Every structure is written in C-alpha cells, then in structure tokens.
Amino acid sequence: MQIASKLPDVGVTIFTVMTPLAIESGAINLSQGFPDFDADPKLKELVWQYMQAGQNQYAPMQGILALREKIAAKTEALYGRACDPATEITVTAGATEGLFAAISAAVQPGDEVIVLEPAYDAYVPVIELNGGRPVFVKMTFPDYRIDWATLISALTSETRMIILNSPHNPTGAMLSTGDLQRLGDLVEGTDILILSDEVYEHIVFDGRQHESILRYPALADRSFVISSFGKTYHTTGWKVGYCIAPTALSIEFQKVHQFLTFAVNTPVQHAYAEFLDNREAYLGLAAFYQEKRDLFLSLIADSRFKALPCSGTYFQMLDYSDIPDAPDMEFARTITTEHKVAAIPPSVFYHDRTDARVLRFCFAKTDDTLKEAAERLCRI
C-alpha cells in the first residue's frame, strides 16, 4: 500500500547518506557532527547513580524541576535573562524535537517563515508539515553574513517567524551585536516570532562572545531559544535539549511537546542537573574546541584546500576550488570512497542546491583522528 507523501521532495538526510558511506568505505568520518571521544566519566557515573537510586520512571512533561532550575540559573548568569523554571523552560528529546515543537506551535497554514541559507535541514520540512511557506534568504559568501537588504525585502504581512542559528551550522559564522540590534529594530511593532537555534552556544572562538537572543529583552520576549546538552557534554546520543520561551509561548510549545515525547529520559536529566554545577565543563568548551580547530587547520595548511573563517561550532568549511572542479556532492563521495575521508556537501542546505565548491568537515575528533584525516586530505 502507498500513501500520499506530506513531504514528497524529502528523502533521507545527508547524514543518513554520508555516515553509512563512510562506514562502507572504511573512511574517517568527518561528516556527521558528533565527537569520536567519550563523555566525562563523572557524568556517566551520575547517570548510573540515579538509575540505581530508582529514578527510572516518567519525568514531568516539562522536565524535572531540579534541571529546569539549574538551566534558569545558568541562563541568568550567562545572559542576564531571568527565566521562570516553572513556566518558561521545557526539557526536550534533543534540540531537533525542540525545533519541531516550536515551529509546530507557532506556524499556521499560510504563514511565511524566513529561513537563512545555508540552513540546517530540520527547519524546512517542519514548516511545510504545518502548512507554512519557507521564504529563503541567502547569506553572503564567503563570510556567511545576513544580507539585511534581502531579508527586509522578503518580509510581508504573512511573515510569522524568522529562524536564526548562531553559532551557525554548517558555516561556523556567528551573529554580531549589530545583527541583533538590527533584528530588534526590524521586528519592533510586529507580531513576528523568532526561533533561535543556539545549540553551539558554548563553542565560540578567538575571544568572541555568543550573542544569544536571551541577552536582548525585546527579542527574548518573542522568541523560542533552543539549546542542546548533547553538543555541550559530548553526549549527542542521549538526545536531551531544552527550549526557553516566555510563558505564553511555552504553553503552546508544551501542547505540542507532550504529544511528541511527553517526557525525556529521567536519570539523564537528574545527572545533567547535578553536573551543571561544574561550570568549567561548559565554560571551558570554547578553548577545548579552538585547540582542535587550530590543530586541524595547521595540519591541512599544505593541502590544496582553503579554509573559510570559522568563529564557532565544531565544523570547518574548506574551499576545494583549486582541486579539479566537481560538484560538491560528487566530490564528497569521491573523497569518501577514494581518499577515505567523509565530509558534508553544503549544497544540501540550500533549497536550490547552491554549490560554492566547499565541503564541511567536523573537527570534534581526537587528535589522532584529525592527524590521520589531514594526512589523507593533504594527498589529494
């Protein structure tokens, strides 16, 4: 039997393509964004302790209160935003579930949603599933900045939401203070909502400051802000994130969330709540990943790849235009199967498959992995 597809133009994600290809080819996987090193043993031990203590049944739908209180304290300390843990914080089954719930809560049929490209591929399908219409605005190349003139021209009376992602996947670009101030001026006096994907909030380089939406009261008052414990604690497989939003938005968010997952893994929530007391575990993340970025860049300095600026995330965009010309999807497959290093072709993050002849590499890997991968890339 067959059914009419609600997403007729959507297949499996690029991650579902490249990781199996890397495994099949015996390639070093710098494509999908996950570390190849383990989480802190103390964090894993806490999960075990809470399992042994009997914390194995359903958590509250919003998340355990102890974790929401710790998130609220961290948010105020970092961004100056006082959040009510009882009404403004929801623990989610990963950031992707949070993105789905936020878009589903806010977007009605016929609504327009501004999507800045290249865009993480979880946004557009959810907009379309809810009857919304994505309106695409390309970021400038090669610095991947917001083209404000184009964004302003894309706004209409039907614009319901603008989706932001900073630090940005796949490019590593970051929003500036000026960007957020301009955004504030743009939405003032409108009913436009903001969805801010900030899962890489602690992975910022070169002394930069993460400009969270939460730093700006007028923006925070109309925003869903999504964060991820998986990215922060090297635990992507545990799939726990959270959404911070004003009470009225959180109420609608939770109406969707309760029917997506209802509750999130209980012992893991307790473990995160206790582990959040170790501030250095997230405050030290920037230096940890900057060392890896700098190592990777030094190792490929003599290659034919050219590095684009990377201010945050654990992804590095490399220009391969000095290498015999090929579309990025083709070249990604070639280096995976022939040179045994897997990467992501960023054209998949554009609705029209814009191809700038760059690839995205994940450097959230051990030094030995990065050294071996770089050696192979230098031979191309």
Distances (CA, A) of 181 to 101, 129, 147, 212, 258: 27, 32, 15, 12, 34
Q: DSSP assignment of 18-49, as one string? A: HHHHHHHHT-EE-SSS--SSPPPHHHHHHHHH
User: Model pTM?
Assistant: 0.96
Asked whether 132 and 160 are in contact (CB, 8 A), the reply is yes
Asked whether 137 and 116 are in contact (CB, 8 A), the reply is yes
Asked whether 239 and 94 are in contact (CB, 8 A), the reply is yes
Using CA atoms, how far apart are residues 361 and 122, in angstroms rounded to an integer? 19
The residues near 134 (Cβ < 8 Å, ≥ 6 apart) are 112, 113, 115, 123, 124, 127, 128, 351
Using CA atoms, how far apart are residues 158 and 107, in angstroms rounded to an integer? 11
**What does CATH list as the number for 14-32+284-378?**
3.90.1150.10
Sheet containing strand 315-319, strands side by side: 306-307, 315-319, 358-362
What fold is seen in the domain 41-278?
Answer: Aspartate Aminotransferase; domain 2 (3.40.640)
Residue 324 is predicted with a pLDDT of: 81
Q: DSSP assignment of 106-128, as one string? A: HPPTT-EEEEEES--TTHHHHHH
Residue whose tokens read 């403004």: 88
Query: Are β-strands 89-92 and 159-165 bridged in parallel, bridged antiparallel, or unpaired?
Result: unpaired
Using CA atoms, how far apart are residues 297 and 305, in angstroms rounded to an integer? 10
Residue 256 is predicted with a pLDDT of: 98
Residue 325 is predicted with a pLDDT of: 83
Torsion of CA 163, 165, 171, 174, to 10 degrees: 120
Domain-wise residue ranges, the chain: 14-32+284-378, 41-278
Using CA atoms, how far apart are residues 227 and 141, in angstroms rounded to an integer? 27
Determine the residue type at 284: G
Distances (CA, A) of 368 to 179, 247, 295, 315: 38, 47, 11, 17
- In a 13 Å sphere around the CA of 68, the CA atoms on its Cβ side amount to 22
Using CA atoms, how far apart are residues 307 and 359, in angstroms rounded to an integer? 10
The dihedral region occupied by 9, where left means phi > 0, alpha psi between -120 and 50, and beta the remainder, is alpha
Residue 10 is predicted with a pLDDT of: 83
Residue 15 is predicted with a pLDDT of: 83
211-244, pLDDT tens digit by residue?
999 999 999 999 999 999 999 999 999 999 999 9
Q: Which two tokens stand for residue 78?
A: 């970092």
Among 232, 229, 173, which residue's Cα sits nearest to residue 205? 173
Residue ranges in the chain whose pLDDT is less than 70: none
Start-end of H helices in the chain: 14-25, 41-52, 65-79, 94-106, 123-129, 148-154, 177-187, 217-220, 229-233, 247-260, 266-275, 280-283, 285-299, 328-337, 367-378
Asked whether 146 and 284 are in contact (CB, 8 A), the reply is no
Using CA atoms, how far apart are residues 32 and 170, in angstroms rounded to an integer? 11
